Amino acid sequence: MLSRRRSATSRSTALAAAAVAAALVLGACDTDGGDGTSDKAGDSGPGVVAPGRPGEPARTLSAEEAVEEAGQDTANSADFRYARMMIEHHAQALVMTELVPERASATAVKRLAERISAGQKPEIGAMEGWLKRNGGDRREQHHDHTGMPGMATEAQLRKLRAAEGTAFDRLFLELMITHHQGAVTMATEALTDGNDIIVEEMASDVVAQQTVEIDRMRGLMD
């Protein structure tokens, strides 16, 4: 996660530098050339190289485009929606992992649940902090879980609470695999539709971490 944060910070810094360079270019375009003649109308001057998002190549922008893009990392509705929904999504995962110590039989399942809990609790705190800093309010969230992919139904949770031993292990893994797949879907949508660089970092972490855990859980089921 630290490396992704550094990458995101570097991109923001580079965009800011690009904006400064663009401003200088625009300023130069407004002055006379060295031969006493002004630039041609509509000539935006030399391009400015702007870094792409993670996994994307750098681009050459006009001075006007660079100035505009430098201010485009503000949060949009997709960012707020992702943070609010993922808080609820992670909260259900914690409800499921809390059942493991007393009901699971496999040590590997118990360890997996501990890792999931240890990873998702701080992520909830990070998303709550982001919402607070950006004026979001969790009370605005729609609490209909049916709209979130991967969420277990109340009937499935009751069945999980009633299970023990190997039956619990298998049902827990089945439900958590589906739950993680839903989280990856939501995070991928945030990466596509969102605009805030911090949300992008959090969503990237969810995709990376939960994809690994899905593979691990499938291995345990085999």
Which position has the higher pLDDT, 145 or 105? 105
Q: 9 pLDDT exceeds 70?
A: no
Q: 14 pLDDT exceeds 60?
A: no
Cα separation, 158 vs 130, in Å, equals: 33
Q: What is the pLDDT of residue 46?
A: 55
Q: What is the pLDDT of residue 140?
A: 52
pLDDT class for 24, splitting at 50, 70, 90? very low
pLDDT class for 130, splitting at 50, 70, 90? very high
Phi, psi dihedral angles at 53 (to 5 degrees): -70, 165
pLDDT class for 212, splitting at 50, 70, 90? very high
Which position has the higher pLDDT, 199 or 136? 199
Q: 163 pLDDT exceeds 90?
A: yes
Indicate the Cα dihedral angle 79, 82, 85, 91, nearest 10°. Answer: -110
Query: How is the chain split among helix, strand and coil, in percent rounded to 5?
Result: 70, 5, 25
pLDDT class for 18, splitting at 50, 70, 90? very low
Whole-model pTM above 0.75?
no
Least confident range of 39-48, 64-73, 141-150, 200-209: 39-48
pLDDT class for 72, splitting at 50, 70, 90? low
Cα separation, 192 vs 180, in Å, equals: 18
Mention every residue, 6+ apart, whose C-beta is less than 8 A from residue 199: 75, 79, 82, 83, 130, 190
User: Are 200 and 11 spatial neighbours (Cβ–Cβ below 8 Å)?
Assistant: no
C-alpha separations of 220 from 39, 54, 95, 97, 174 in Å: 68, 32, 21, 16, 11
Mean pLDDT across the stretch 76-104? Answer: 97
Q: What is the pLDDT of residue 38?
A: 44
User: Are 105 and 169 spatial neighbours (Cβ–Cβ below 8 Å)?
Assistant: yes
Q: What is the pLDDT of residue 60?
A: 77
Domains belonging to the chain, first-starting first, are 2-69 (no CATH), 77-221 (1.20.1260.10)
